[in-house]
Amino acid sequence: MLSDAQFIRYQRQLALPEIGENGQQSLLDSRVLVIGCGGLGSAAVLYLASAGIGQLVIVDDDRVESSNLPRQVIYRERQIGQTKVDAMAEQIKAINLDCRVRAISKRLIGTQLELEVLNADVVLDCTDNIHSRQQINQLCRKLIKPLISGAAIGWKGQVIAFDQLPLSPCYHCLVPDSELPAAQRCNEFGILGPVVGIIGTLQALQAIMILTRQTMRNANQLTLFDAHLFQFQTLNVVKDPQCEVCGYPQTDQMKGEATCQI
């Protein structure tokens, strides 16, 4: 049951009929796993914490650097040198004491990663490498956990939410390769801060819609954003019948271009 203080704090969300008191309570009771605390993760976490997510589990093994600050907007200059998860946890607590934080300052693999995915209501993939993305996807598919994957490079970004239904595709259907060509390595490209901010914010929006039991109208649809043209494009993604993770007989397939978050 919401407290009087929570009614006041979240009144503008409560006024939305699609959320209301029950939806807000669902947010407060939820646990979201955010893997990657860079540009995507920092934008997503700002809105998730502000919305009243009950628990955020944040995972990253990096430290804050000055070159992060133009696009990883949750961090401050005084936090340079801190681990990203500790710096992010500090900011989350300053935003909303309703939001509990568990910070994991290492890369998760194997059983540890599986346990965190199992305990989450929604998983946000904000990582910067294909190998991690494929591991996260495989576990989300196995454990039937909604996965919201975001990526951005240069002036372009993309976001997609996988609902993990039996006939639905997975990330491996979209990006079947486990490695990026050398020419597509993230650290060789520039990135504009607002681009990752837009994609990270869309990830947060999709998570909130899932957690408040709204119909996933955009599930399994790849949304592409071109900041230079200021245009969005949406493509349907269907299951790859040869997918190693979720393969199921079907006639058509669509494979997308891999990008990476910085």
**Catalytic residue status for 186:** yes
How does DSSP assign 177-225, residue by residue? -SS--GGG-GGGS-B-HHHHHHHHHHHHHHHHHHHTT---TTBTEEEEE
Q: Extract long-range pairs of 9-16: CB within 8 Å, 24+ residues apart.
A: 9/52, 9/98, 10/51, 10/52, 13/51, 13/52
The answer to whether residues 195 and 152 touch, using CB atoms and an 8 Å cutoff, is: yes
Catalytic residue among 37, 140, 173, 186: 186
CA distance 244 to 172: 8
How many other C-beta atoms can be found within 10 angstroms of the C-beta atom of residue 181?
A: 8
Sign of the four-CA dihedral 91, 33, 130, 209: negative
Angle between helix axes 110-119 and 130-143 (nearest 10 degrees) is 50
3-state secondary structure of 52: coil
Q: Give catalytic residues, as residue numbers.
A: 186
